[in-house]
Amino acid sequence: MRHAFLLLLFLFSGHLVVCSQDERPWEALFADLSTFDDMEGSDWEDTYEMLCELEEHPLDINAATREELLQMPFLNDRQVEDIQEYLYRYGAMKSTAELAMIPSIDYTTRQLLTHFVVCGERSAPAGLDWQKAFRYGRHDVIATANIPFYERRGDKEGYLGYRYKHSLRYRFQYGDKLKVGLLGAQDAGEPFFGSHNKAGYDYYSVYAEAHRMGCLTTLVVGRYKASFGMGLVMGSGFGMGKLTALTSLGGKGRGLAAHTSRQTGGYLQGAGATVRLSKGVEGTAFVSYRKIDATLVDGDSSIATIVTDGYHRTATEMAKKGNAAETTAGTRLQYRRGGFVIGATGIFTHYGKPLRPRLTERYRTYYPAGSDFWNVGVDYAYTGALLTLHGETATGEGGAIATINNVGVTPSSRLSLLVSQRFYGKKYHALRANSLSEGGRVQNESGIYAGVLWWPLRHLKLTAYTDYAYFPFATYLAQVSSQAWDNVLQAQYEWGNLTLTARYRLKWREQDNEEGTALIGKVTHRARIGAAYAVGGWRMAANADWTGVDADRQSQGWLFSGNVGYSHAWLKVNAAMGYFHTDDYDSRIYGYEQGVLHSFGFRAYEGEGIRWSLCARADIGNRWMLMAHLATTDYFDRDHISNGYQRIDRSSKTDLELQVRCRF
Burial of 172 per CB tally in 10 Å (0-12, 13-18, 19+): middle
Label residue 45 by pLDDT band (50, 70, 90). low
Please state, in angstroms and as integers, the Cα–Cα distance from residue 157 to each residue in 152, 166, 313, 647, 650, following that order: 9, 21, 11, 12, 17
pLDDT score at 333: 97
* DSSP code for 28: H
Residue 40 has pLDDT above 70, yes or no: no
SS3 438: coil
Query: Of 425, 424, 453, which is closest to residue 436 (Cα–Cα)?
Result: 424
- Provide CB contacts within 8 A for 351, sequence distance 6+: 303, 324, 325, 326, 327, 371, 372
pLDDT score at 237: 60
What pairing do the DSSP bridges indicate for beta strands 324-337 and 370-383? unpaired
Give the separation between CA 627 and CA 599, rounded to whole angstroms: 12
Give the separation between CA 15 and CA 30, rounded to whole angstroms: 13
pLDDT score at 126: 54
Higher-confidence position of 576 and 245: 576
Give the separation between CA 192 and CA 189, rounded to whole angstroms: 9
What DSSP line would sit under 98-134, residue for residue? GGGG-TTS-HHHHHHHTTTEE-STTPPPSS--HHHHH
* Mean pLDDT, residues 337-354 taken together: 94
Residue 293 has pLDDT above 90, yes or no: yes
Label residue 269 by pLDDT band (50, 70, 90). very high
Please state, in angstroms and as integers, the Cα–Cα distance from residue 586 to each residue in 31, 366, 619, 655, following that order: 21, 28, 42, 26
Mean residue pLDDT of the chain comes to 86
pLDDT score at 18: 36
Beta pairing partners, 548: 525, 556
Give the separation between CA 577 and CA 563, rounded to whole angstroms: 6
Residue 2 has pLDDT above 60, yes or no: no
Q: Percent of the chain having pLDDT more than 70?
A: 89
Residue 11 has pLDDT above 50, yes or no: no
* Number of residues assigned to the chain: 664
Query: Of 240, 213, 220, which is closest to residue 229 (Cα–Cα)?
Result: 240
* Mean pLDDT, residues 399-422 taken together: 91
Give the separation between CA 118 and CA 139, rounded to whole angstroms: 19
Query: Of 616, 597, 615, which is closest to residue 141 (Cα–Cα)?
Result: 597
Helix (H) or strand (E) holding 50: helix 44-56
Residue 30 has pLDDT above 70, yes or no: no
Query: Of 71, 388, 45, which is closest to residue 253 (Cα–Cα)?
Result: 71
Higher-confidence position of 426 and 384: 426
pLDDT score at 96: 82
Please state, in angstroms and as integers, the Cα–Cα distance from residue 541 to each residue in 82, 265, 435, 498, 615, following that order: 34, 35, 34, 9, 16
* Mean pLDDT, residues 465-470 taken together: 96
pLDDT score at 243: 72
Label residue 109 by pLDDT band (50, 70, 90). confident
Give the separation between CA 583 and CA 554, rounded to whole angstroms: 9
Residue 5 has pLDDT above 50, yes or no: no
Beta pairing partners, 209: 179, 220
pLDDT digits (tens, 9 = 90+) for 535-548: 888 888 889 999 99
Query: Of 253, 259, 255, 326, which is closest to residue 284 (Cα–Cα)?
Result: 255
pLDDT digits (tens, 9 = 90+) for 207-220: 999 988 888 989 99
Burial of 163 per CB tally in 10 Å (0-12, 13-18, 19+): middle
Residue 171's CB is within 10 A of a number of other CB atoms, namely 22
Give the separation between CA 54 and CA 71, rounded to whole angstroms: 10
pLDDT digits (tens, 9 = 90+) for 572-620: 998 999 999 999 999 999 877 777 888 766 778 999 999 999 999 999 9
pLDDT score at 22: 41
Do 160 and 191 contact (CB within 8 A), yes or no? yes
CA angle 43, 46, 52 (to 5 degrees): 145
pLDDT score at 121: 53
Of the listed ranges 83-87, 329-333, 606-610, the least confidently predicted one is 83-87
Residue 212's CB is within 10 A of a number of other CB atoms, namely 20
Residue 569 has pLDDT above 60, yes or no: yes
pLDDT score at 186: 92
> Half-sphere exposure (CA, 13 Å, Cβ side) for 272?
32
Higher-confidence position of 44 and 273: 273
pLDDT digits (tens, 9 = 90+) for 303-320: 999 998 889 999 999 999
Torsion of CA 434, 440, 442, 447, to 10 degrees: -120
pLDDT score at 17: 37
* DSSP code for 157: T
Higher-confidence position of 455 and 51: 455
Residue 59 has pLDDT above 70, yes or no: yes
Give the separation between CA 546 and CA 35, rounded to whole angstroms: 13
- Provide CB contacts within 8 A for 453, sequence distance 6+: 246, 247, 415, 416, 461, 462, 463
